[in-house]
């Protein structure tokens, strides 16, 4: 199972995370987020080509495509994660601007079973979906809230794009996550954030190490 640790901003803990069996480290460039970084700050924090974990940069709500493409190049991003309500046309345009080796991930907000059943067909458009908890009100921050949705909904997912689970995953959820992955063949990983923090952007590496061990990493 792949693991992404998102919302990083503390240099010391990032350096420690790069040494662990983590597949992806996420950096958020969304102004509304308390973990927001500039492109220049992300570039200073990543270790291109010399670390196990690949870099994912998170954007939301149709930020300038040329700026996203520039950021992807500057930080040697493995993937761009779209965490807003981006329309298909926007994603198609972004794809033309990104290098072919840079993947596009699309977050989908979930609060009901219907949200899972009505996921648009992103086959051929995005490389991965992240199922996250829907904010309580429109305009609220998406992601990093520490709140869960009913994970049982995901057994009804019939799309063709593999997905990662996000939204309020906690250290004590390791067993439940593994069991869910058995029930959901298209589930390929998890996205960890606020429940593994000492403070916004500063991860608790001991909690992450324990979680990795408990899921068999």
Per-residue pLDDT reduced to its tens digit, 72-121: 999 999 999 999 889 999 999 999 999 999 999 999 999 999 999 999 88
Mean pLDDT to the nearest integer, 145-164: 93
What number is the average pLDDT over the span 162-168? 96
State the pLDDT at residue 8: 97
pLDDT at 138 over 60: no
Distance of CA 72 to the CA centre of its chain: 15
What pLDDT is stored for residue 63 in this prediction?
85
The whole-number pLDDT of residue 123 equals 87
Q: Is the pLDDT of residue 176 over 90?
A: yes
pLDDT at 136 (0 to 100): 65
Query: Is 202's pLDDT higher than 90?
Result: yes
The domain spans of the chain are 2-214
- Identify the CA nearest to 166 among candidates 142, 185, 182, 184: 142
Q: Assess whether pLDDT exceeds 60 at residue 151.
A: yes
The rounded distance, in Å, linking the Cα atoms of 39 and 66 is 13
How many C-beta atoms lie closer than 10 Å to residue 161's C-beta? 19
Q: Domain 2-214, CATH 3.20.20.70 — does that match? A: yes
pLDDT above 90: residue 149: yes
Side-chain-side CA neighbours of 168 within 13 Å: the count stands at 15
Q: Give the model's pLDDT for residue 48.
A: 63
Percent of the chain with pLDDT over 70: 94
The pLDDT-based confidence of 51 (bands split at 50, 70, 90) is low
The number of residues in the chain equals 217
pLDDT the model gives residue 24: 97
Cβ pair 196, 205 in contact under 8 A: no
């Amino acid at each position: 199972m792949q693991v992404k640790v998102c919302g990083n901003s503390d240099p010391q803990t990032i350096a420690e995370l790069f040494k662990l069996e983590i597949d992806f480290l996420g950096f958020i460039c969304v102004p509304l987020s308390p973990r927001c970084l500039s492109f220049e700050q992300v570039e200073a924090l990543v270790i291109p080509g010399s670390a196990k974990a690949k870099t994912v940069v998170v954007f939301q709500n149709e930020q300038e495509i040329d700026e996203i493409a520039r950021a992807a190049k500057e930080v040697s991003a493995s993937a761009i994660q779209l965490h807003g309500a981006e329309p298909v046309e926007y994603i198609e345009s972004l794809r033309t601007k990104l290098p072919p080796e840079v993947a596009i991930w699309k977050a989908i907000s979930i609060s009901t079973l219907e949200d899972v059943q009505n996921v648009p067909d992103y086959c051929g458009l995005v490389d991965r979906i992240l199922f996250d908890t829907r904010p309580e009100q429109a305009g609220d921050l998406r992601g990093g809230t520490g709140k869960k949705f009913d994970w049982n909904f995901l057994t009804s997912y019939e799309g063709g794009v593999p997905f990662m689970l996000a939204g309020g995953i906690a250290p004590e959820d390791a067993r439940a996550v593994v069991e869910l992955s058995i029930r959901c063949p298209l589930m390929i990983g998890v996205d960890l954030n606020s429940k593994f923090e000492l403070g916004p952007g500063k991860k608790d590496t001991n909690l992450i190490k324990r979680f990795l061990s408990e899921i068999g990493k």
